[in-house]
Amino acid sequence: MAAKESKPARIELLQGTLDMMILRTLQWGPQHGHGIGQAIRASSLDALQIEHGSLYPALHRLRKQGWIEAEWKITENKQRARYYRLTQRGRKQLSAEESRWNRMVEAIARVMKPASSS
């Protein structure tokens, strides 16, 4: 009971935000699927509890869009893994989505906290 309360409340993902977060994560360099999942979870301070399975349809979708590329590499533990890397088009897409996201957050913030703007 107590353990549950101490955890931050989980947040359902908004449609399309997973794609944006994957692109954002890959900005730091190539990463495999599991690594991407870990990174998102860690940087959200465990608030976003995404089902890891849902990463893979998203990754394949992004690859088809041409925003990321995939390549099989050997990990530090000598295992074969598929690494994803941001393409030039992916970078453009990321900055477009970021600015869109920021505008949206600002707009929502204005609605939710009208007092602060006055």
* The one among 10, 60, 85, 103 contacting other proteins by CB under 8 A: 60
Query: According to DSSP H, which parts of 55-87 are helical?
Result: 55-65
Residue 4 interacts with other proteins (CB under 8 A): yes or no? no
Rule CB under 8 A: say whether 16 interacts with other proteins.
no
Residue type, 69: E
Nearest to other proteins of 61, 91 (CB atom) = 61
CB 63 within 8 A of CB 84: yes
Residues that bind other proteins (CB under 8 A): 32-34, 37-38, 51-54, 56-57, 60-61, 64, 72, 79-82
